[in-house]
Structure 1
């Protein structure tokens, strides 16, 4: 029989216990132990509607800027919008969501840099798409670390349901180096249903995949990866956005302006702090 959520589980021999009292703390505990969690963004109906409208505008503009849908389809990029925050300010606000940044500050040592932001479209009618393959968001890596090197925050612009291809995870796979056996994947994969306006937050080393969308409507989401500053960004955001994109010091640090690679020895020496 399951213990009700508001009832203290009976136990004996326990002398240490983690305390999770806030929504952020509970999400962090779930990420540490299982590799994933779900948290509400805190946005109201009007903000969600504005994000949905901005997503659709950006999708159309993005295709036009990059040769059209047919050209993007040839390179399997027709279901992805790279760096939407460069097109619409609401996506910069989304990338700096207070709850997500607090989760990053609790789980990532030092501070986190936005490595990438991508709009993700799970196509309707069971069509395949590249995020439907099992992967880590630090791909090709087979190691584990004591603390997360990167956090994935997938914003559900539409509700994630079993019918429209909810993200599937392999719980606790961020603790094991190798990809599990086919039998383990087929029996242990867990779909994560989440309402519109929530974030599915992952340790980037947990194996996950997009599900199959069997509905007649595309399922929209915006993915964010936040990493330790040592990891290179998917796209050099300071170069892509320009030096005058923002003067806010916290946003500049988040976007990677403080960790740009020097182009020469002279540039490196100029960045070194002077000793008093």
Structure 2
């Protein structure tokens, strides 16, 4: 016999109710109410293996290009900036994964862009720069009725207690101030998620990585999708300007053709072709 409570379904006085027609709309409802959800990416084991191998190749090349000591000195050793600019097609595919974009489209009204895509490594037995509480629109203390940005953290490895799975404060996307230490201690939730899933958050939800007590790094790929008014962390549109094979939807997603006009004449020209 199950110990789980039986949730009543009868109601009265209810004039409006959300409808979760499928797992995408249910995930969107969870995020709007709680500030986060775990969302199955629908990847095969072979696809996960390919993404993992691509991640390792980019990480090795990135450290070789920028220097281990230099990256460590500026607290960037466990981050790989702008993965999709490093020549591995999988990270373009991952950022424009149709199943994920269908969820983002239910959360951000109208047009949205990829603001950033970074590899994140939680190393065993040591701290890292995502191990402190933050929002993914940091230093901001305001809330909105709809998300301005959504964070989709792709779990390249499973997120478990022993390897430092991400902590979140449910509902903190609806409160301006960071919670008290007492509230944090009792209400923060560590999110367990399988490899191949996305931990999706309203970008104003406070979260942080946990301490990795396992023997292996916990790897993830962080995406932030935002309304076009928020500038990209790194100019993806510049880095991808000469890329071939991008669809029209991907070009829009990555910001190509939406850079700020450099002159009044350029602004007017863009207006004329809309």
TM-score w.r.t. length of structure 1? 0.94
Aligned to 1:148: 147
Matching residue of 2:19: 19
Q: Which whole-Å CA distance do the structure 1 matches of 2:206 and 2:245 have between them? A: 35
User: Per-residue deviation at 1:8?
Assistant: 6.2
**Does structure 2 retain, via aligned residues, the 8 Å contact 1:246–1:252?**
no
- How far apart are the structure 1 equivalents of 2:209 and 2:153? 11
Alpha-carbon shift at residue 240 of structure 1 (Å): 2.0
1:52 aligns with 2:52: yes
How many Å apart are 1:192 and its aligned residue?
Answer: 0.4
Q: For residue 262 of structure 1, report the CA deviation from its aligned partner.
A: 1.4
What residue ranges of structure 2 are gaps of 5+ in the alignment?
none
TM-score with structure 2 setting the length: 0.94
Question: 1:160 and 1:99 mapped to 2: Cα distance?
Answer: 20
Question: Per-residue deviation at 1:197?
Answer: 0.4
CA distance in 1, matches of 2:196, 2:174: 29
CA shift for structure 1 position 134: 0.4
C-alpha displacement at 1:109, in angstroms?
A: 1.4
Q: 1:247 Cα shift? A: 4.3
Counterpart in the other structure of 2:123: 123
Q: Distance in 2 between matches of 1:147 and 1:164?
A: 32
Aligned structure 1 segments of 4 or more residues deviating by more than 4 angstroms: none
How far off its partner does 1:21 sit? Answer: 3.0
Offset of residue 244 of structure 1: 3.6
**How far did 1:10 drift?**
4.0
What is the distance in 2 between the residues matched to 1:14 and 1:3? 22
Alignment of 1:1-276 (within 5 A): 2-3=4-5, 9-66=9-66, 68-87=67-86, 88-125=88-125, 127-273=126-272
Q: Give the 3-state SS of the residue equivalent to 1:59 in structure 2.
A: helix
Work out the CA distance in 1 between the residues paired with 2:96 and 2:243: 18
* Structure 1, gaps ≥5 residues long: none
Distance 1:130 1:60 in 2: 19
CA RMSD of aligned residues (A): 1.6
Shift of 1:154: 0.3
How many residue pairs get aligned? The number is: 271
Mapped contact 1:3–1:9 kept (Cα < 8 A):
no
User: 1:183 Cα shift?
Assistant: 0.9
Whole-angstrom distance in 1 between the partners of 2:254 and 2:23:
26
Cα deviation, 1:209-228, whole Å, max 9, x if unaligned, reads: 01110111100000000000
Partner deviation per Cα, 1:3-55 (whole Å, 9 max, x = no partner): 46xx7634444343211131111110000000000111111010000000001
Aligned to 1:139, what secondary structure does the other structure show?
Answer: coil
**Larger mean Cα displacement after TM superposition, 235-244 or 12-21:** 12-21
